[in-house]
Amino acid sequence: MKTILIGEYREGKMLDATYELFGFARQLGGETVMFLVGDETVLPAYDGTLYLAEAVQCGEYNPELHKKLLLETVQKENPDNIVFIHSSYGWDLAPRVAAALKVAQVSEIVDIIDGGFEVGCCNAKMRRTVTPATSRAVLTIQTGAFPAVQPGGTPAVIKISSDSDGSLTFVGYEPADKKDVDLAKADIIVSAGRGVGKKDNIAIIQALATALGGELGASRPVVDAGWVPHNQQVGTTGQTVSPKLYIACGISGAIQHVAGMKKADFTLAINKDRDAPIGEFADVLVIADVMQFVPALTAKIAQ
């Protein structure tokens, strides 16, 4: 079995999640080659073949051109699988490639079970295992689901380029409005999940964050409900954070949330369900009603 791994490069750096592709590939087994639109001076520590297109020529993101280059690589390598990170880059490019190749796509893979791919369903509340209906498949892996692995070594680079620029031009990135809160820089984050119950209760979580000199974060349902602004969402479609202390209040621990906070040095979770998945990631799980425990903790800190 042969797999092409699609690395990601952004603004002078390899994206950390690129190394999760190697973790996935190790679990999948077989041979790998890599495809990257990046920079020759910033290559992953990988001892296989790497097809490299220069981002300065092709644009860091240009779906039309990157698809063309990748399809040429697929033709040369004849892989069984083409694997992307489930990032804004991957979820845009992967279906274009799958459609062009007329092959199945399996998105947001979180595990490999008996040769099948485990993916979330019912808004990630449940999981199911699927196998592609075509022998070749395009896959995207959920960030945080597979371990980051550094294979080591130096890639054998095969340079690729295109003489056509396509009809799109990569202009650049526009940073998200950080407003007053910059979770990426916060040492302490206290995050509110759906378990806080209602918008009015956010003030109770904010009070703990303030008492600790930290910032308020939130899970996606809390942001979707409009209780907390989007720039404070933690997770795959929000911020990736690495505070010294992360307090998860009424958060179940879905993979999409955990992917954003698993780099915290210490995690305290408060949940009334002792079997909540967050317990697998937290250093301490307090089994309590968040609306009783958090005000008591805030009062204790204030003493």
Ligand X SMILES: Cc1cc2nc3c(=O)[nH]c(=O)nc-3n(C[C@H](O)[C@H](O)[C@H](O)COP(=O)(O)OP(=O)(O)OC[C@H]3O[C@@H](n4cnc5c(N)ncnc54)[C@H](O)[C@@H]3O)c2cc1C
Q: Residue with CB nearest ligand X?
A: 235
Interacting stretch for ligand X, rule CB under 6 A, among 34-42, 60-68, 132-140, 254-262?
254-262
* Percent of the chain as helix, strand, coil, to the nearest 5: 30, 30, 40
Which of 141, 291, 297, 298 contacts ligand X by CB under 6 A? 291
Q: Quick one: 82 or 234, whose CB is closer to ligand X? A: 234
Contacts of ligand X in 88-147 (CB under 6 A): 123-124
Instruction: Provide the minimum distance between the beta carbon of 63 and ligand X in the complex, in angstroms, as a whole number.
Output: 19
Instruction: Provide the minimum distance between the beta carbon of 257 and ligand X in the complex, in angstroms, as a whole number.
Output: 3
Residue 223, SS3 per DSSP: helix
What are the φ/ψ torsions at residue 67 (nearest 5 degrees)?
-60, -45
Residue 194, SS3 per DSSP: helix
Please give the Cα distance from 178 to 155 (Å, whole number).
Answer: 37
- The two structure tokens encoding residue 223: 């942001």
Q: Quick one: 182 or 273, whose CB is closer to ligand X? A: 273
- The two structure tokens encoding residue 167: 């009809």
Contact 141, 85 (CB under 8 A): yes
Which of 10, 96, 194, 262 contacts ligand X by CB under 6 A? 194
H runs (alpha helix) in 78-219: 88-101, 202-211
Please give the Cα distance from 94 to 143 (Å, whole number).
Answer: 15
Site string for ligand X, 212-251 (x = CB under 6 A): -------xxxx----------xxxxxx-----------xx
Instruction: Provide the minimum distance between the beta carbon of 253 and ligand X in the complex, in angstroms, as a whole number.
Output: 7
Q: Quick one: 21 or 251, whose CB is closer to ligand X? A: 251
Q: Quick one: 74 or 282, whose CB is closer to ligand X? A: 282
* Torsion sign across C-alpha atoms 225, 274, 201, 197: positive
Which of 186, 271, 282, 297 contacts ligand X by CB under 6 A? 271
Interface residues with ligand X (CB under 6 A) are: 123-124, 193-195, 219-222, 233-238, 250-252, 254, 256-257, 260, 270-273, 276, 289-291
